[in-house]
Amino acid sequence: MEKMWAGRFSKALDKIADDFNSSIHIDSRMYRQDIKGSMAHAAMLAAKGIISKDDSDKIIDTLGDILSDIDSGKTEIDFNAEDIHMFIEAELTSRIGDIGKRLHTARSRNDQVALDIRLYLRDETEEIISLIKALIKAIAGKASENKDVIMPGYTHLQRAQPISFAHHILAYAMMLVRDIGRLEDAAARMNFSPLGSCALAGTTYNTDREMTAKALGFDGYTLNSIDGVSDRDFVIELLSALSTVMMHLSRFSEEIILWSSWEFKFIELDDSYTTGSSIMPQKKNPDMAELVRGKTGRVYGDLFTILTILKGLPLAYNKDMQEDKEAIFDALDTVKVCLEVFAPMIETMKTIPENMEKAASGGFINATDLADYLVKKGMPFRTAYKHVGEIVAYCIKEGLVLETMPIEKYKEFSPYFDNDLYDEISLVSCVKKRISAGGTGEDSVLKQIEFVTEFLNA
Ligand code: ARG
């Protein structure tokens, strides 16, 4: 295929160099965005009298045909083309000849590609947000079903204080709500059209960038043409938000993996989201969660790819930037597939409340509550803390737990202790009594579910 820029050259590009230079295997997936951008550009060229209305109409109609022909498979993308922009233009010209050759007036592939990526990312961001919402919904559903299930809350992976299972998983819902906020922020900052920046310096034609920006649903256009074609900060911002999404999914995965082990057995994943072993017949492995945890590294890597590509580039466009697409698409695909598998995995997982409660019982997890009991009877917290520490040490030595140590023994440590202490340190009341805003108490959990539900309905 002869290059569009062949005029200046006396020899064809070397075959290996040609393949090396080509990006169509990667960027062909932006054909829809490329065509939409070209349609808006052609309409503007006519409105400003740069090309005739007839030519513009012909270009726009034919681009519409090309779009539906690619969609339907009638037209196949030619992977010998240099990139998707060149392919669409060549296809247009092959269909309508010289008229098609007028499309690239007052435009460059540099603003074209900067535009296509933004349009592509805008669509994808929307899709990812709705996938995150589906996951939040699954979490809220599981939380509602398990409002009264008590589990150990951990710090340092040591049993710390009893909490409700609902409270624990709702923490992830809150993180995901913020993730959506980050994605929306990134999308809003991204939503300025670079089209019309041309190669780098703008153009001698009297173009209307406001018109194309509006037609393509942007909030405005980039004010500096060099910035418009050179920066990919919006990619970095988006991939950074996606890395945070993956970080959250990865932590959740880690817990799901732990919870499904025989050591914990707090949950059982559905058969449809687990796998067996090729040799050990008893195995039921949480592969989906492990893969999500593993793929998190990939998305971080994609972010670093973009950061590294850009760090030494002089303004304006450099071919290095062609390398951004593979990382962008990989990050988007990875996050989407992880979210797609995660929501139903959560939805279908069974909780095993007996095991959670067993793990929370008898392990001094209510020691804080015992100290609070003394405080409520008038003892300063630090003194109460010290007494309870001594009681725990005693219990460990004697093979007792707080629930079973007799009241006479308690009284030897402090006269403040009375029979009502046993009720105060029961797991149920430990959770119930945590009435502070945002705590694990019932009102707070209900409020969280309500917040999340309202967020999803908004
Ligand atoms: N395929 C190129 C890319 O993705 C398009 C821009 C090429 N511009 C140029 N001046 N060679 O970056």
Nearest Cα neighbor of 103 from 155, 42, 159, 149 is 42
What is the percent of the chain where pLDDT is above 70? 100
Residues 146-155, mean pLDDT to the nearest whole number: 95
- 110 CB near ligand 1 (under 6 Å): yes
For the segment 292-314, the average pLDDT, to the nearest whole number, is 98
**Looking at residue 100, what is its pLDDT?**
98
Q: Tell whether 155 is covered by a domain.
A: no
Task: Identify whether 156 is a catalytic site residue.
Answer: yes
Domain co-membership, 336 together with 234: yes
For 65-124, how does the pLDDT look when each residue is reduced to its tens digit (9 = 90+)? 999 999 999 999 999 999 999 999 999 999 999 999 999 999 999 999 999 999 999 999
Residue with tokens 């008590």: 150
Would the CB of 27 count as within 6 Å of ligand 1? yes
Give the model confidence (pLDDT) of 322-354 as tens digits. Answer: 999 999 999 999 999 999 999 999 999 999 999
Looking at residue 430, its pLDDT comes to: 84
Locate tokens 């725990």: which residue? 392
| Residue 376 counted as domain residue | yes
Q: Inter-axis angle of helices 109-145 and 324-348, to 10 degrees?
A: 10
Query: Which residue, among 79, 77, 76, has the nearest Cα to 22 in the 3D structure?
Result: 79
Q: Is 164 helix (H, G, I), strand (E, B) or coil?
A: strand
pLDDT grade for 280, boundaries at 50, 70 and 90: confident
Q: Specify if 52 maps to a domain.
A: yes
Q: Which of 332, 356, 380 is the last residue of a domain?
A: 356
Residue 3's pLDDT is what? 79
CB of residue 113 inside a 6 A radius of ligand 1: yes
Q: Is 230 in the pocket of ligand 1 (CB under 6 A)?
A: no
Q: Is residue 117 part of a domain?
A: yes
Provide mean pLDDT across the span 431-444: 92
d(CA 433, CA 428): 9
Query: Tokens 């995150």 correspond to what residue?
Result: 132
User: Which of 319, 321, 329 to probe ligand 1 with, by most ligand atoms within 8 A of CB?
Assistant: 319
The predicted model gives 176-181 an average pLDDT of 98
* CA 283 centroid distance within chain: 31
| Residue 349 located in a structural domain | yes
Catalytic residue among 52, 94, 130, 277: 277
pLDDT at 138: 98
Closest atom, ligand 1, to C-alpha of 23: 1
Residue 282 pLDDT greater than 80, yes or no: no
Q: Is residue 231 part of a domain?
A: yes
Q: Is the CB of 322 under 6 A from ligand 1?
A: yes
Q: Are residues 95 and 204 in the same domain?
A: no
CA of 197 to the centre of ligand 1 (A): 14
pLDDT at 229: 98
CB within 8 Å of 315: residues ≥ 6 apart: 200, 226, 230
Q: What pLDDT shows up at residue 291?
A: 98
The upper half-sphere exposure of residue 112, i.e. CA atoms within 13 Å in the direction of its Cβ, equals: 24
Q: Which three-class secondary structure state does DSSP give residue 191?
A: coil
Q: From 158, 166, 155, 224, select the one nearest 194 (Cα to Cα).
A: 224
Q: Are residues 376 and 255 in the same domain?
A: no
Cβ of 41 less than 6 Å from ligand 1: no
Return the structure tokens found at 420: 């009502």
Same domain, residue pair 393 and 337: no
Q: Is 28 in the pocket of ligand 1 (CB under 6 A)?
A: no
Residue 281 has pLDDT above 80, yes or no: no
Q: Which helix (H) or strand (E) holds 150?
A: strand 150-155
Q: Is residue 239 located within the same domain as residue 334?
A: yes
- Ligand 1 centre distance from Cα of residue 313 (Å): 15
Using CA positions, which residue lies closest to atom 4 of ligand 1? Answer: 322
How many other C-beta atoms are found inside a 10 Å radius of the C-beta of residue 271?
10
One domain, residues 294 and 225: yes
Q: Which of 1-15, 147-161, 337-351, 428-442 has the lowest mean pLDDT?
A: 1-15
Question: Sorting pLDDT into bands at 50, 70 and 90, what band is 63?
Answer: very high
Q: Is the pLDDT of residue 240 over 80?
A: yes
Atom of ligand 1 nearest to the CA of 113: 5
Same domain, 327 and 388: no
Structural domain total, the chain: 3
Mean pLDDT for all residues in the chain: 95
40: its two tokens: 């808006």
Which stretches does DSSP call E strand in 219-333? 267-268
Alpha carbons 151 and 153: distance in angstroms, whole number: 6
What CATH number is given to the structural domain containing 92?
1.10.275.10
pLDDT for 242 equals 98
Distance 109 CA to ligand 1 centre (A): 6
Q: Are residues 200 and 121 in the same domain?
A: yes
317 lines ligand 1 (CB under 6 A): yes
pLDDT digits (tens, 9 = 90+) for 402-435: 988 999 999 999 999 999 999 989 888 888 889 9
Let me know whether 267 and 207 are in one domain. Answer: yes
Choose the final residue of a domain: 356, 391, 406.
356
Ligand 1 near 22 CB (within 6 A): no
Comparing CA positions, the residue from 84, 70, 115 lying closest to residue 22 is 84
Catalytic residue among 156, 272, 278, 436: 156
pLDDT tens figures, 308-328:
999 999 999 999 999 999 999
CATH number at residue 213: 1.20.200.10
1 assigned to some structural domain: no
Share of the chain above pLDDT 90, in %: 88
CA 3 to chain centre: 39
Check if 25 is active-site.
no
Centre of ligand 1 from the C-alpha of residue 421, in Å: 73
Q: What is the pLDDT of residues 256-276, one digit of tens each?
A: 999 999 999 999 999 888 887
- Identify whether residues 289 and 404 lie together within a single domain: no
What's the gap in Å between 71 CA and the centre of ligand 1? 24
204-229 mean pLDDT:
98
**Mean pLDDT over residues 230-239, rounded?**
98
Tell which atom from ligand 1 comes closest to the C-alpha of 83: 1
- Find tokens 């590609």 and name the residue: 113
- Cβ partners under 8 Å of residue 200, min gap 6: 108, 110, 225, 226, 229, 230, 315, 316, 317
Q: Which atom of ligand 1 is nearest to the CA of 317?
A: 10
Q: Which domain holds residue 345?
A: 110-144+164-356
Decide if 153 is inside a domain: no
Q: Which atom of ligand 1 is nearest to the CA of 84?
A: 1
Given a cut of 80, whether residue 277 has pLDDT beyond it is no
Least confident of 141-150, 379-388, 427-436: 427-436
- From 356, 390, 418, the end of a domain falls on 356
Quickly count: other Cβ atoms within 10 Å of residue 385's Cβ: 17
The residue nearest atom 7 of ligand 1, judged by CA position, is: 109
- 99 and 120 share one domain: no
Identify whether residues 391 and 438 lie together within a single domain. Answer: yes
83 ligand 1 Cβ < 6 A: yes
